[in-house]
Amino acid sequence: MGSSRFLLNFPPQPPLFSLTLLFSPPSTVSFPPITTLIHHRKTPKLPLSSFKNGSNNIPPETECPVPLDQQPINEYQSLSTSFPFSWAAGDIVEYCSRLAVTGASFALFVGLPVAWFGSVGGAGGGDLESLKRVTAAVLSGVLVVTLAVVRMYLGWAYVGNRLLSATVEYEETGWYDGQVWVKTAEVLARDRLLGSFQVKPVLSRLKYSLVVLAVSLFTCVSLLINLDVAQRSVYETAEQSLKRAIPGVYNDESARSFEPEAFCGEPSLPES
């Protein structure tokens, strides 16, 4: 009984990249569908709340429920372009020149006519009176500039406090339904950088302006008081000179000695 062999013959597997595949024309080469080679990943969809308030590029973690007109960064942009708050954020020379023109215009066209023609003496008076009216006109111009700077300071201080604060107070409908939103880390860092490097220099400039204007107001008021005292002293000196008896001029004492019946029943003047 002879030994028999059982041979298992399997068909050969074609190589993945054969020479015939490399040298075959492009029209005969067949590739598997591209969809079977690429693993698709589904792109996560952003929630609709991330596009709230018209912001299409704000991620969900920085979502801000505050209305656009009440957000501190929008308030800063609106303030920096509005009149007259934009003066303080501009060039220092332009800022000072605008304040000077504002004060001089008001003093020349409003303060001086009112002080000159609205006083008791009218357009008359001496040198002290004229100087007093000019000083009053200058004081009115400085006062108007001071009010404008105070208004600018209050506006910039309000926006600066909202930028530097970690919370934002806002109203949803405007009917006193106040809400408080806690800023995220990204929003807080952005607002504090803006408040530190943009708003604080403006506030420092306005503070220096208020100090200079306060000194100017004090100087004008002191000058007005001194002019008024000097004017009163001049009037008192003139009245005392008029009360003195001048020789050769009518005097009650001499008239009493010559015509005593004309002064009947009247008390005699005390002897000085």
Q: Are 221 and 136 in contact (CB under 8 A)?
A: no
Please state the rounded mean pLDDT for residues 242-257: 61
Q: Are 42 and 28 in contact (CB under 8 A)?
A: no
More confident residue, 88 or 47: 88
12 upstream amide cis, omega within 30 of 0: no
CA gap 206, 204 in Å, rounded:
5
| C-beta neighbour count of 74 within 10 angstroms | 13
Torsions phi, psi for 178 (to 5 deg): -65, 140
CA gap 216, 139 in Å, rounded:
8
Give the pLDDT of residue 12: 54
Query: Is the pLDDT at 210 greater than 50, yes or no?
Result: yes
Q: Which helix (H) or strand (E) holds 20?
A: helix 19-23
Query: Is the pLDDT at 87 greater than 70, yes or no?
Result: yes
Give the pLDDT of residue 258: 67
Give the pLDDT of residue 98: 96
Give the pLDDT of residue 54: 39
CA gap 218, 212 in Å, rounded:
10
Longest dimension (CA), the chain: 195
CA gap 111, 224 in Å, rounded:
15
Q: Are 144 and 105 in contact (CB under 8 A)?
A: no
Query: Is the pLDDT at 171 greater than 50, yes or no?
Result: yes
User: What's the pLDDT band for 64 if we cut at 50, 70, 90?
Assistant: confident
Least confident of 36-50, 85-99, 129-143, 227-241: 36-50
More confident residue, 28 or 101: 101
pLDDT tens track for 8-19: 454 555 554 444
270 upstream amide cis, omega within 30 of 0: no
